[in-house]
Chains A and B, each alone.
Chain A
């Protein structure tokens, strides 16, 4: 009976959503601001990746809020899980093949994640994606070489430093030009690594912050579960 009712309710929701979405043209620009970002984005911010120019430059303040939300979530999780923290019992080591595989893959994934967030203004991706890839490298190490642990001091220090760099870069812009997160560094030649002013700096900070935060969340959860 409950199943029938839930299936009927779900079908009503599905029909309603598809009817309302059917009228929205797919892939067509619906606002004028998007075209402006495409036309002027490279010129105004120096970032070739338009998504990055929107995320870090035009909507940089929103990104700061997003980073804060993630920070609060990680802090809250740490506070909740830390109460019952105890010494991890002796863990049986994983098999040789699994351990070696993880050790071979770990640096490669780490380098790939760093590449994603360092080249955030040139190629697809950026701080969040790169940070998530770095954190997944740590997940691999946790699952494969279970006796390894990242130091909690290092991860919280990196996390705080990342947030601090973001806010300080914004405040310097406020002091120099009167706008929070003003791009005060010369923009340089587009398509080169050292271009787009403070965007790479902010994205590297976000990459470190997101990576250490997500790795810390996983660390808290796994430590709690063993």
Chain B
């Protein structure tokens, strides 16, 4: 159990770093969505299913959609 949670935390950190260094903004948004998704799994393990649900629906789904819509209006690649 503790191994699995540590693995998730490491993955989450990798996702956060990747979101910062990707030049392709779509990939960066997907990496940020991964951070939200793993955060929601961790919330579930911490016995907060209500927060986990909100995090999965808003953090992983709606925020990603809004970011992607915004990127479609602007540049896909960071200068």
**Chain A residues at the B interface, C-beta cutoff of 8 Å:** 49, 51, 116, 124-126, 128-129, 132-133, 135-136, 139, 142-143, 214, 217-218, 221-222, 224-225
Contacts and interface: CB of A to CB of B under 8 A. Distances in A.
Given A132-B62, A139-B62, A221-B66, A124 B50 contact: yes
Given A132-B58, A133-B57, A225-B72, A125 B49 contact: yes
A139 B50 contact: no
Contacts of A125: 49-50, 53
Nearest to A49: B50
B65 interface: yes
Contact of B53 (A129, A214, A222): A129
Given A221-B69, A225-B69, A132 B54 contact: yes
B11 interface: no
Contacts of A221: 66, 69-70
Consensus secondary structure, chain A interface: helix
Interface size for chain B: under 10, 10 to 19, 20 to 34, or 35 or more residues? 10 to 19
A61 B50 CA distance: 19
Consensus secondary structure, chain B interface: helix
Interface string B48-72: 0110011001100110011001101
Nearest to B44: A124
Which residue of A132, A142, A214, A218 has the most chain B CB atoms within 10 A of its CB atom? A132
Contacts of B54: 128-129, 132
Given A136-B61, A218-B62, A126 B50 contact: yes
A51 B69 contact: no
A126 B49 CA distance: 11
A222 B71 CA distance: 11
B35 to A, nearest CB: 16
B44 to A, nearest CB: 9
Contacts of B70: 221, 225
6 contacts: A129-B57, A133-B53, A136-B65, A139-B61, A218-B65, A225-B73
A132 B57 contact: yes
A224 B54 CA distance: 26
A103 B49 CA distance: 28
